Chain A
Amino acid sequence: MAFDPKILSFFCHWCCYAAADSAGVARYQYPPNNRVIRVMCTGRIDPRFIIEAFYAGADGVLVGG
Chain B
Amino acid sequence: MAEVTRRILELVGLNLERFRIDWASAAEAPLFVKIVTDFTETIKKLGPLGEAEGLDPETLKLRLAAARELASQSRFRAAYGNLARELKKAGDYSPEGIRARVEQKLVPIIKKGLLEAEIKHLLSKGPVSIDALLEKTGANQEDIVPILEALSKKGQIEKQGDVWQPKAKE
Contact = CB atoms under 8 A, between A and B. Distances in A.
A and B touch in the complex (CB under 8 A): yes
B28 interface: yes
Dominant secondary structure at the B interface: helix
B40 interface: yes
Contacts of A23: 29-30, 32-33
B21 interface: yes
A46 to B, nearest CB: 7
Contacts of A62: 20-22, 35-36, 39
Contacts of B20: 60-63
Interface of B: 1-2, 4-5, 8-9, 12, 14, 18-33, 35-37, 39-44, 46-49, 61, 64-65, 67-68, 71-72, 80
Given A31-B40, A59-B43, A14 B49 contact: no
A16 interface: yes
23 contacts: A5-B48, A7-B39, A16-B32, A19-B24, A19-B27, A19-B31, A20-B32, A26-B29, A30-B36, A30-B40, A46-B71, A47-B80, A48-B68, A51-B12, A52-B68, A55-B61, A55-B68, A59-B18, A59-B43, A60-B39, A62-B22, A63-B2, A65-B22
